[in-house]
Structure 1
Amino acid sequence: MQRLAVLNVVGLTRSLIGNHTPNIQAFADAGQLSSFKPAFPAVTCTAQSTYLTGLSPAEHGIVANGWYDRVDAEHKFWKQSNHLVRGEKLWESLRADHPDFTCAKMFWWYNMYSSADWSVTPRPMYPADGRKFFDVYTQPMDMREQVKADLGEFPFPTFWGPKADIPSSQWIAKSAMWVEEKHQPSLNLVYLPHLDYCLQKFGPGAAEIPAELEQIDHVVGELIDFYQARDIKVVILSEYGISKVDQPVYLNRLFREKGWITIKNELGRELMDCGASKVFAIADHQVAHIYLNDESLRDEVIQLLESTAGVEEVRSQQDAFGGDSRAGDLIAVAEGNAWFAYYYWLDDAVAPDFARCIDIHRKPGYDPVELFIDPELKFPLGKIAKFLIKKKLGFRGLLDVIPLDATLVKGSHGRDNVDADEQPVYISQSAGVNVQSAEQVFECLKAEILAS
């Protein structure tokens, strides 16, 4: 077998490879570059699960980054248990014939309780007094203190939020090299999220993007040199491309105006009660899962969605996901320049407290506005400093600095029918590789490892 490192450069597309990515360009010139139709929806959890099982979302069950649990009557976003992903994983398939095969998962999602040999994933600590401490979770557990002792604390604020930037990808790259030096895994899965942040924040083609490309290209170049010096094959992979957007679509507000959303007042704030609502949306970038607690409204909901500006098409649960109950009864797909915001309140004064915070689990949808600090705050740095002082002293507080202006977002993803320049890429040094679909990535990676 050939040892393999897979560099998942999120957001990388054919159109971004060029003068500002000399290392990636040289790697592509020396090998084979395929761009392919992304998984549906083209989001992180779905794409990665498809790559690592070779199954469609209808088969592995990861229908989005989050969905509505019909039994608990709760929405669940960014869960981490690998048990959620159905099907045999890539390393399990290889291990069946080669018992000594090992795998390291460095920040790929669904990283907890997997059968991989070594893994690191973001996992804050939440003491009972309401505070939050940034940290990582590792398998084996004692690896957490070992990797932090050698590399320092993971720079969690640069992994997501207004400070999202290159340090998180740099740390992940160093941790991947650290695992190689300590354990020499047969397969090393490395997640490099940097482009995901800037492309959503500024949009493709923005003046800020060339400098961001140069930063991640430097990280990728160091990893290529590191692995090739150890005779480890490298594949560069991405999950999706980012489309330029200028139109947020608020499906839950439309449903509320129809009287289909049930609102619960909690301490003067409005919470959407999914279990009591007739119709509601769980928004995830350019795809929204629509759940019908009142099936009699199906035709009316479809008519409303199809007449809504920014909605390109409506798919059924059966057609999109083979009837998987995790998926919405209907799935709305945005037009190329639009995306779905989860907002359901009609007055910002009664928006839930978590709306203005970085709070990826409470929100009934993905919220890229968390990448921004509210421009209307007069002294945002002072407010953040005050919060951090209170936190250090052991007091609880609310870091409510996120704006409620979805028009700030300039890039999104999730659609599967996109132009070739917005499709994900697979770059290999192996001759004859031609990836056509997200499901095919599994067999291509397996072939890279088994090639003599």
Structure 2
Amino acid sequence: MNQTGTKLLVIQVAALGWDLVQRHFPAMAGLTFRKTETIFPALTCTVQASFRTAALPSQHGMVANGLYVRELNKPLFWEQSARLVEGDRIWSRLRAEGRKVGLLFWQQSLGEAADIVLSPRPIHKHHGGMIQDCYSQPADLYERLSAQIGRPFNLMHYWGPLASQKSSEWIASATELVMRDDSLTPDLLLTYLPHLDYDLQRYGPESRQAFQALEKTYALLSNLWKTAQETGYDILIFGDYAIEPVSRVVYPNRLLREKGFMLTRSIRGMAYPDLFAGRAFALVDHQIAQVYIPSPADVPAVRDALSGLPGVAAVLDANGRQKAGLQHARSGELVLLAEKGSWFAYPWWTEKREAPDYASHVDIHNKPGYDPCELFFGWPPMSIGSDPSRIRGSHGRAGSDYPVAWASNRPLPDPADVRALAMQIG
């Protein structure tokens, strides 16, 4: 917060890369976008954790969107407990002074040290299906917002084949209502617009669909900026990662299985990973993969095998992780970085009949890897796509070649990266 005590609205826009913004809309309603670097790896949970702590993954522990729990031999994606993010929050001093903080649709926000929280929290039914719901603090906040907006939040618009700008529209409406509600009005409000990411992954950042998604993003940002001015908020907009065009799919787990490092169990003809007996497994996440290797004796052989896999730009060992800011207990023994234009897919099978049951459905919590094919419908009806070559955009790489965009009405100096940007408002 600045010296005048003006309230601040922070809007994190998924996939708001500098190159995309500069090519189409470098300015918006009195705000001029500038560029900065993001955090490595350039993934949603990692960047959000770095922003709220002003720390690197080696400190806050969110090394990817998915985590591998060694004690359980189990990968977990999109877990939402705030305790997963280690370290002090940039707003700790504000709350100590009695000021209010809100988080809307930020990852790992359940149980967060904040006054207002709103996050998807569906109930998965015992016999299949889902009861859509959102967790909120105050407890009645979600019900109140849904009534005012005229509809509840639809998770199918947030992820899956039907994911679209409708998710961002609902979140933007909720954000405006929170800013206008005198009983809420946090001094620092962090919100999230997810939809730009969807069509950039489906069709690529240079597609017509990407331009249309960016147009919608600017319309929502303009409305939020107008409401912010009317309610006494300054504004800070920033992107978490830049999506690049991709044309090569890389399958590290297929190689690990072929070399005998990854083991599977055949259940009704389907190949499920045997993570209890296996010697290596790659938890893939867009353009990076955390490779978990129980025995240190296997690390050199696994490293040599993966180093020769086409599409792999780098294999980071302990020294490499240290230099990259990824040296944390949750990191894999090795970390893979995809080459420019490539991304990692999780399948270990090559025959369609071996595909596990969850492969043909949206199942972000049970799949042991990120699956962008969930953005497409497949065949038969009610299934998702199964062809990774349809994916045209991915992210995870960082550095000066992958800047993100940011803008604010505050006279902030140019930050070195997103983490430094967070330090300026803490």
Q: TM-score, normalised by structure 2?
A: 0.94
Note the residue ranges of structure 1 that are not aligned, 5 or more in a row: 385-400, 447-452
1:373 counterpart (361, 377, 385): 377
Residue type of the partner of 1:155?
A: N
1:117-148 deviation line (CA, Å, top 9, x unaligned): 11111111123333312221111222222222
The Cα shift of 1:286 comes to 0.3
Q: Structure 2 vs 1, CA of residues 418 and 19 (structure 1 numbering), >3 Å: closer, same or farther?
A: closer
The Cα shift of 1:57 comes to 0.5
Which residue does the alignment assign to 1:438? Answer: 418
The Cα shift of 1:18 comes to 5.5
How far apart are the structure 2 equivalents of 1:164 and 1:305?
Answer: 34
Is 1:408 paired with 2:381? no
What is the correspondence of 1:20-169 to structure 2 with a 5 Å cutoff? 21=25, 24-29=27-32, 33-96=33-96, 98-99=97-98, 101-151=99-149, 152-169=151-168
The Cα shift of 1:20 comes to 5.0
* Conserved? CA contact 1:321–1:327, under 8 Å: no
How far apart are the structure 1 equivalents of 2:236 and 2:45?
Answer: 20
* Conserved? CA contact 1:66–1:75, under 8 Å: yes
How far apart are the structure 2 equivalents of 1:39 and 1:68?
Answer: 21
What is the correspondence of 1:337-376 to structure 2 with a 5 Å cutoff? 337-374=341-378
Secondary structure, aligned partner of 2:283? strand
Instruction: List structure 1 segments (4+ residues) > 3 angstroms apart after TM superposition.
Output: 18-22, 24-29, 320-323
Is 1:177 paired with 2:176? yes
Secondary structure, aligned partner of 1:224? helix
* Conserved? CA contact 1:136–1:144, under 8 Å: yes
How far apart are the structure 2 equivalents of 1:213 and 1:132?
Answer: 31
Secondary structure, aligned partner of 2:370? coil
Residue type of the partner of 1:232?
A: Y
Number of aligned positions between the proteins: 416
The Cα shift of 1:346 comes to 2.1
Which residue does the alignment assign to 1:424? Answer: 404
Note the residue ranges of structure 2 that are not aligned, 5 or more in a row: none
Secondary structure, aligned partner of 1:137? strand
Residue type of the partner of 1:156?
A: L
Q: TM-score, normalised by structure 1?
A: 0.88
Question: Which structure: greater helix fraction?
Answer: 1
* Conserved? CA contact 1:39–1:47, under 8 Å: yes
1:87-110 deviation line (CA, Å, top 9, x unaligned): 1112223223x22x1111110111
The Cα shift of 1:418 comes to 4.9
Instruction: Tell me how large the CA RMSD over aligned residues is.
Output: 1.6
How far apart are the structure 2 equivalents of 1:322 and 1:338?
Answer: 21
How far apart are the structure 1 equivalents of 2:22 and 2:406?
Answer: 16
Residue type of the partner of 1:290?
A: V
What is the correspondence of 1:196-207 to structure 2 with a 5 Å cutoff? 196-207=197-208
How far apart are the structure 1 equivalents of 2:177 and 2:141?
Answer: 11
What is the correspondence of 1:253-272 to structure 2 with a 5 Å cutoff? 253-272=254-273
Is 1:211 paired with 2:212? yes
How far apart are the structure 1 equivalents of 2:135 and 2:419?
Answer: 28
1:359-411 deviation line (CA, Å, top 9, x unaligned): 0011111111100112xx3xx6xx34xxxxxxxxxxxxxxxx11221111100
1:280-304 deviation line (CA, Å, top 9, x unaligned): 1000010000111232221222222
1:212-265 deviation line (CA, Å, top 9, x unaligned): 111111111110111112221011111011011011100000000001111112
The Cα shift of 1:26 comes to 3.7
How far apart are the structure 2 equivalents of 1:282 and 1:193?
Answer: 23
Identity across the alignment (%): 35
